Homo-oligomer: A and B are copies of this chain.
Amino acid sequence: MKKNSLFNREHDYSLRITAFLASLDKDEIINVSSISKKLHLSKIFTARIIHKLRVANIVGSVQGKYGGFYLKANSEEISIWDVLNAMGYKVRLNDCMDENFFCDLMFGCQFHTFFIGLEQNIFEQLKQQKISDYIFRFTK
């Protein structure tokens, strides 16, 4: 049976990639092939994800031959929430929390109120976790 998820593969991988980049030395850059091998991801999927992270300014890139990527921000200042948002993270625990959702029962629906609170609670927990506490280190 399908299970409801809050995070998909892209979200997961983006966290791994960020946590790995956080382990690099200052001024060190790494290319997509190396990242994908280390993290056991396909090269092309890795490229798509890291590109989004770059657009969101989480990572920086150097183009051309011998180019690559590096973590732009300080890992102590980036949260799981920040990375997820870079990937275009959108959550609504329930469809009824959607902006354009109309529900005849909405007025006074305590479920709706409960879901809003639960969602806020989850978001807070994601914001509290900094990437610096999740750094992946590999023996070189």
Q: Which positions in A face B, CB cutoff 8 Å? A: 1-9, 11-12, 15-16, 19, 39-40, 80, 88-96, 98, 104-105, 109-111, 114-115, 118, 121-122, 125, 129, 133-134, 136
Assuming A5-B95, A40-B105, A114-B134, what are 17 further A-B pairs, CB within 8 angstroms? A2-B90, A3-B90, A3-B91, A4-B8, A4-B90, A5-B94, A6-B91, A6-B94, A7-B93, A12-B95, A12-B96, A19-B111, A109-B136, A111-B134, A114-B129, A118-B122, A122-B122
B133 touches A125 (CB 8 A): no
| Complex Cα spacing A129 to B93, Å | 16
A39 touches B93 (CB 8 A): no
